[in-house]
Amino acid sequence: MDLQTVKYDKTEGIATITLSRPEKRNPLSPQVFRELDVCLDDADKDKTIAAVIITGGDKVFCAGMDIAEMQTFKKEDTFEFWNSGYNLVFEKIYNFRVPTIAAVSGYALAGGFDLSISCDFRVVSETARFGQLEVDVHLSPGIDRLWRLVGLSRAKYLGMTCEIINAQEAYRIGLADKLVKVEDLQKEARALAAKFVAKPRESLEKTKNSYINVINMDHKAAINWETLLLVHLFDSDERKRIMDKFLNKGR
């Protein structure tokens, strides 16, 4: 697919997807969702990839949906648009086999906010601004992923007041994982991604999958899941090789 709205790069085990319509503040549209989907599928098939970074560059992450384009939708277009974004692309990011990182500078608003919280981690610059603005334009915000990050009361506050918060507040409430200078954003996002490149791949992928599954289990089922995973990894040749290497270090 000829990419027109995003840029895609793969180096040193890291796939980077960059939203690339800065003149319009990187809005989301059906074309953007299709291109994100193509890039994610490629990164998923490429088993050398151990982390994915999604960014909009150093000026703006994503200011939401392309409202001008949305105004042209017919009723029969509505479900396909939201489903392709929220239920398919955002869920593909959330459930991706390896860690995903949003590198955020400038605005991450509405759909851009939800794109950022679909990722496992958020590295944000001091210029980042987050806001769920949907209620103000007679829509409804994403709820499930946000309340799991920041708690129900804070999620309600952000979703119903439509308040835009700065990077420091996002970090304080646990929405951001790392707060950095603008000029260090991409470097710090890649440094985090590189941590995952260095991990044993099977344990990394299965642990990522466990975080998705255990939060929807009761306590007993979750503990059983974790135990079975430990047994599976412990009985592997890779575990034996790594532990032998550790024991022999310095001998």
In this structure, the answer to whether residues 229 and 182 fall within a common structural domain is no
* Cα–Cα distance measured from residue 242 to residue 122, given in angstroms and rounded to the nearest whole number: 30
- 121-125 and 100-104 beta bridge pairing: parallel
pLDDT for residue 149 is more than 80: yes
pLDDT for residue 239 is more than 70: yes
Among 55, 54, 94, 52, which residue's Cα sits nearest to residue 197?
A: 52
Instruction: Please report, for the domain that includes residue 152, its CATH number.
Output: 3.90.226.10
Q: What are the residue numbers of the active site?
A: 134
- Please enumerate, as own/partner, the contacts of 81-87 that have beta carbons within 8 Å and a separation of 24 or more: 81/30, 81/33, 84/30, 84/33, 84/34, 84/37, 85/28, 85/33, 85/111, 86/114, 86/142
pLDDT for residue 129 is more than 80: yes
Please report, as a single letter, which amino acid is at residue 16: T
In this structure, the answer to whether residues 148 and 229 fall within a common structural domain is no
- Quote the domain boundaries for residue 156: 6-197
List helix spans (H) across 104-200: 111-118, 144-150, 152-161, 167-172, 185-197
Per-residue model confidence (pLDDT) at position 250: 60
List helix spans (H) across 198-236: 201-214, 219-234
pLDDT for residue 251 is more than 70: no
Query: 234: which 2 tokens?
Result: 């412990």
Evaluate if pTM is beyond 0.75.
Answer: yes
pLDDT tens, 83-104?
A: 888 889 999 999 999 999 999 9
Q: Is residue 49 part of a domain?
A: yes
Please report, as a single letter, which amino acid is at residue 200: P
* Cα–Cα distance measured from residue 143 to residue 27, given in angstroms and rounded to the nearest whole number: 20
* Cα–Cα distance measured from residue 69 to residue 41, given in angstroms and rounded to the nearest whole number: 25
Per-residue model confidence (pLDDT) at position 153: 98
Average pLDDT over residues 100-121: 97
In this structure, the answer to whether residues 174 and 231 fall within a common structural domain is no
Confidence class for position 118, pLDDT limits 50, 70, 90:
very high
pLDDT for residue 155 is more than 70: yes
Per-residue model confidence (pLDDT) at position 80: 86
pLDDT for residue 1 is more than 70: no
Instruction: Find the farthest-apart pair of alpha carbons in the chain and give their distance in angstroms, rounded.
Output: 70
Domain total of the chain: 2
